[in-house]
Chain A
Amino acid sequence: MAETYPINIWINEERFNSLQNAGLGKLLKEELAGMKVLIVPCTAEQRDKVLQLFPMAKYDAATTKSIELLPKKVKDQIYDMVVKKKSLDVMDDFIKLVEKG
């Protein structure tokens, strides 16, 4: 499988219940003593685009190997797209949406 550079969206109880009710619980992974996380994959190209669009974010090459420090409202937008599309494959659509402004 090609290497991905994911965005981790951490899920609270309310969102966990919504995802379960929408039949999307299978998209969740469990980490750190039961924390639920949506791991949204990005290609290298998408990663670079995200870092360009959101300069406050960084790719953590040293530890998590993921895109970190994205503001909550940005992650909220990605989360909403995952729920709407019922898929984790949303980054092209998300980038287009941001570029359109």
Chain B
Amino acid sequence: MQYTGHGGKPLVERVITDKAEAKKKIAGLKTMPASRQMATEAIGIAYGFFSPIEGFMKKADVETTCKKMELTDGTIWSIPIVYDISDAEIAQYGLKVGDSVLLTYDGNPLAIFDIEEIYTYDKESMAQDVYGTKEEKHPGVKRTYNYKDKFLGGKITLVNEPKVREPFTPYFLTPRQHRQKFAEKNWIKIVAHQTRNVPHSGHEWLMKHAYIAAHGDSPVEQMETMGKAISGILVNCIVGEKRVGDYIDEAIVLTQDELRKSGYFRADIHMVTMTFWDMRYAGPREAVHHSIIRTNLGLTHHMFGRDHAGVGTYYHSYQAHHLLMSIPKEKLNITPIYVLEWAYCPHCGEVTCIGLCGHWKELQKFSGTKIRSIIMDEVKPTRLIFRPEVFDVVMEASKKYGFGSPFVTQEYLQKAKPAFSIEPL
């Protein structure tokens, strides 16, 4: 079945699944090792997470992405997907336009890269356009400045599918597999919750808020029967490059799933998956990119909260909402659900939406940093703000995967196994 992806274009799938055919296609090709960053994005391109993009961007698409937030054909696009390379590497591998090169990862075949263009791009200008700043302390800007001086553009074809390690294995689904899963579940409306966090009750209520908003004009009778839901919440965890102090990916994925396992969400309305993507912290532009990815996964709605994909004080709290609102509806085939924060009100004795509760001065706002501080102090939070089952999973994950910490440490960065590997073909 052919699915439709972002921009109303066919979902991209550039994967050779037949090993014999793959071996035949790569025979005699020049080989070049791909970094983890580039391998991650090659996989994303080939499975269609970034549809309609079929390869690493050529200069004209980078230019329009930066300047107009669209591809050369007018499709909305907010973040350049580029393959950087040095002159020394171009010489070392003897690369030229028109070559097809075999990218390798872990020393094994990964993808065929048809080099259609070799170009330069002003990195400062790219940073300013995408991140709204040239300051190197912004992690996305730093990543941009760290790009090597040349870029390769051209199509990618995956010849060897990644092996995703435990505990991530059941959570990695391609866009096609997501859509098949939704069809099995009979979900018609599906709202995305983007996350790189262990959930506290504030997150849980954001998801419930978004679900109710997305489902609001649908019949409710099915909801009276467990197993008959026609709308769902997809928690799509971003798994990728980490910074010291972030939650480890294992804790994020497992705790999100625990919310359903422990009954805080019904089994027939909640599902957790993951997407490989290195966060750029591009705030509003990253929100648009997340919308594109989730459109490609087959979702109908996307929740956006405060400071979506932001960092520090570079973007104001609801800047992502404003950018999304400025995009014509027909250009982004997913409906944004804008949500306000939820907070604990001691007067009400419950978690409530700050836009609804009148005890404004008494509200105790959730803060991811504050919750992290509580967990670091090894204090079990009250169940109203953090579910005890989730806390237990965080602690288990820290022992099992985090070298004693639920947060990324230098030791974790050095010793943790990558989430995926490429095996011999």
B424 at the interface (CB under 8 A from A): no
Please determine whether A69 and B379 come into contact, CB atoms closer than 8 angstroms.
Answer: no
Of the listed stretches B7-15, B268-276, B365-373, chain A binds B365-373
Please tell me the number of chain B residues within 8 Å of chain A, measured between CB atoms: 26
Question: What residue of chain B has the Cβ atom nearest to residue A30's Cβ?
Answer: B346
- How would residues 15 to 35 of chain A score, 1 for a CB under 8 Å from any chain B CB and 0 otherwise? 000000000000000011111
A60 at the interface (CB under 8 A from B): yes
Please determine whether B244 and A32 come into contact, CB atoms closer than 8 angstroms.
Answer: no
**C-alpha spacing A64/B382, complex, angstroms:** 19
Q: Which of B245, B313, B378, B382 contacts A61 (CB 8 A)?
A: B313
- How would residues 308 to 334 of chain B score, 1 for a CB under 8 Å from any chain A CB and 0 otherwise? 000011000000000000000000000
Please determine whether A68 and B369 come into contact, CB atoms closer than 8 angstroms.
Answer: yes
Please determine whether B366 and A32 come into contact, CB atoms closer than 8 angstroms.
Answer: yes
B425 at the interface (CB under 8 A from A): no
Q: Which of B245, B380, B385, B407 contacts A32 (CB 8 A)?
A: B385
B376 at the interface (CB under 8 A from A): yes
Q: Which of B307, B374, B384, B407 contacts A10 (CB 8 A)?
A: B374
Q: Which of A32, A56, A68, A70 contacts B364 (CB 8 A)?
A: A32
Tell me, rounded to whole Å, the shortest Cβ–Cβ distance linking A15 to chain B.
Answer: 9
Please determine whether B364 and A64 come into contact, CB atoms closer than 8 angstroms.
Answer: no
**C-alpha spacing A69/B372, complex, angstroms:** 8
Q: List A contacts of B74 (CB < 8 A).
A: none
Please determine whether A12 and B380 come into contact, CB atoms closer than 8 angstroms.
Answer: yes
A49 at the interface (CB under 8 A from B): no
Tell me, rounded to whole Å, the shortest Cβ–Cβ distance linking B346 to chain A.
Answer: 7
Q: Which of A32, A34, A35, A68 contacts B372 (CB 8 A)?
A: A68
Please determine whether A72 and B376 come into contact, CB atoms closer than 8 angstroms.
Answer: yes
List CB contacts (< 8 Å) of A1-56 with chain B: 8-12, 31-35, 56
B377 at the interface (CB under 8 A from A): yes
Q: Which of A34, A56, A71 contacts B382 (CB 8 A)?
A: A34
**C-alpha spacing A9/B376, complex, angstroms:** 10
- What are 30 residue pairs bridging A and B, where the CB atoms are less than 8 Å apart in the complex? A8-B370, A10-B373, A10-B374, A11-B379, A12-B380, A31-B370, A32-B370, A33-B346, A33-B364, A33-B385, A34-B382, A34-B384, A35-B374, A35-B381, A35-B382, A60-B369, A61-B312, A62-B312, A62-B313, A64-B367, A64-B370, A64-B373, A68-B369, A68-B373, A69-B245, A70-B376, A71-B376, A72-B376, A72-B377, A72-B378
Residues of chain B having any CB pair with chain A under 8 Å: 244-245, 307, 312-313, 344, 346, 364, 366-370, 372-374, 376-382, 384-385, 407
Task: Given contact pairs A32-B381, A32-B382, A61-B312, enumerate 17 new A-B contacts (beta carbons under 8 Å).
Answer: A9-B377, A10-B373, A10-B377, A11-B379, A12-B378, A32-B364, A35-B381, A35-B382, A62-B307, A62-B312, A63-B369, A64-B369, A64-B373, A68-B373, A69-B407, A71-B376, A75-B377
Residues of chain A having any CB pair with chain B under 8 Å: 8-12, 31-35, 56, 58, 60-64, 66, 68-72, 75
